[in-house]
Copies of this chain bind each other. A is one copy, B any other.
């Protein structure tokens, strides 16, 4: 079975032509970042992804993680792979150098993250969750907490988790009931049950650092009475030496549809004396902190979607080249041909490929904006980039993950009957993908966030800025006077009109009629993603044309970029006007249905 291969050429193209690596390299703190360095990192990461993580993907799927009396054993080879991962410094790529991180910009680490997810999404979840814990502690930990936890989390010696969900509190975290009782010595005793805790228990490291949402005794009800606590699996000295087991135990792990390699734990806190924990930041501001972490985690789940798409595409493409079936349509020869010759197989592969490249480009452009928002000396520029990032995170999360379900499904379809047989591997990607539109906020939650907080709240200002940037690209396409680019321009133009119409609709109606607007929120998110992808592929096509005219770069690759933009325009962007109709007119029946008519 073929292993994942990092799509280095496309990644380098995106970094150079679309995400503005040069500009990121000019930011304070990133002076050493340039194309050469980025390429060296991507190449090394690609080797690790192909050589170590990818072969373990199917092992994790088949063996799964195993629970036995509160301990969890990961699949064969996973401990050793994790050890190599941490030793290689991969855990700490974009973490601050102060505590041992490598301080690389997000635009580079995002592509490396895509590789981990392309090779083995169940494995990649572990460092992803650890990064969330690192961010929470960096943001609002005490110096003591930082000194104890950050070096160990950043090195990968320990891992981190996010403990939000309880049986009655899923998308609605206001219903959290776990409680934390102060002990008078600065510590708390935490009691309660948390579910769906990714890597909540495992055998990869000596300790696990749980970040837990819970209520203090006098906390107000609802979201404003939730605090954040750090609760390690093993208590320790300030130098990290173990000082006994904390009162938190894994009572079971879930039997899941996919990502079998990653243990999803039910954790019982405080079944005995109470799990010892310490407040992180201020009391009752836990949800606020968690949302800061969550934004980063949502972006990362979007990257999971990109990685899954790439992996599914590679497998389907290889199969389509290998599998012979049927003769060339309309040809004279009766020789069997590889199925990649059949128009419908090509169509499926191009749906997969064009979406994958669009997702990657959008995600990378957003990552570059994160870097600018964090490091640019000009406050206005930082602010503008941050508002772009805030706007786009629900789009990256929601659209990449929904696309991954679609793309991995096409991967199954390209395989025909073999796609349904687990040994072929295509089915695992599809099963693995299905969690991504659910965790870290379902697509519905992302869409409400996009509509309410990211579009309606600022009166559509951030969205209008993006629409203007899109319009400028559409003009450049027309100015090129190239028939391929003109065809793309026409679809992009219709897409921009559709999106602008919906943004105006949301701004105008959200305050007076939130329910109607909410009924179209997911179609709006899909529309936003599709048009954003078309925008970035149009930029890619312009860059490719320039390269072809200048004779720089591989002409086959650059011509493919032009055709990919064209395909995406006719097969994906073409849906934009219909989606706008649904957003603007689709609420009537949704709201008129009575509950008992379902």
Contact = CB atoms under 8 A, between A and B. Distances in A.
A171 interface: yes
Contacts of A570: 581-582, 585-586, 588-589
A20 to B, nearest CB: 26
Contacts of A566: 588-589
A442 B435 CA distance: 26
B423 A435 contact: no
A598 B340 contact: yes
Contacts of A422: 255-257
A128 to B, nearest CB: 17
Interface in A227-268: 254-258
B416 A593 contact: no
Contacts of A421: 254-257
Interface in A315-345: 317, 320-321, 324-326, 329-330, 334, 336, 338, 340-345
A222 B409 CA distance: 32
A330 B448 CA distance: 13
A298 to B, nearest CB: 15
Interface in A516-561: 516, 518-523, 556-557, 559-560
Interface string A471-510: 0000000000000000100000000000000000000000
Contact of A589 (B317, B514, B567, B594): B567
A71 interface: no
Main secondary structure, interface of A, reads: helix
A172 B448 CA distance: 47
Contacts of A258: 420
A90 B170 CA distance: 44
A589 B488 CA distance: 11
A274 interface: no
A417 interface: yes
Nearest to A313: B598
A6 interface: no
Contacts of A321: 595, 598
Interface stretch (A146-154, A211-219, A362-370, A426-434): A426-434
A88 to B, nearest CB: 31
A443 B409 CA distance: 13
Given A405-B409, A566-B588, A566-B589, A344 B598 contact: no
Interface string A445-462: 001100000000000000
A519 B255 contact: no
A444 B435 CA distance: 27
A350 B589 contact: yes
A571 interface: yes
Interface stretch (A46-54, A379-387, A572-580): A572-580
A172 B515 contact: no
Contacts of A581: 570, 574
A68 interface: no
Given A256-B422, A329-B514, A439-B417, A340 B595 contact: yes
A591 interface: yes
Interface residues of A, number: 104
Contacts of A431: 257, 431
A481 B332 CA distance: 56
A564 interface: yes
A592 interface: yes
Contacts of A595: 321, 338, 340-341
Nearest to A597: B560
A305 interface: no
B170 A587 contact: no
A44 to B, nearest CB: 26
A534 B326 CA distance: 35
Contacts of A317: 598
A285 interface: no
A189 interface: no
Interface in A157-191: 165, 168, 170-172, 174-175
B515 A330 contact: yes
Interface in A388-424: 405, 409, 412-413, 416-417, 419-423
A388 B317 CA distance: 37
Contacts of A98: none
A195 B417 CA distance: 10
6 contacts: A257-B431, A329-B515, A340-B595, A346-B593, A487-B585, A567-B590
Ranked 10 nearest A-B pairs via Cβ: A567-B589, A344-B444, A560-B597, A343-B518, A343-B519, A257-B427, A570-B586, A172-B326, A566-B589, A563-B589
Given A346-B598, A412-B438, A567-B586, 8 more contacts: A165-B417, A257-B430, A329-B515, A348-B444, A566-B588, A567-B590, A574-B579, A574-B585
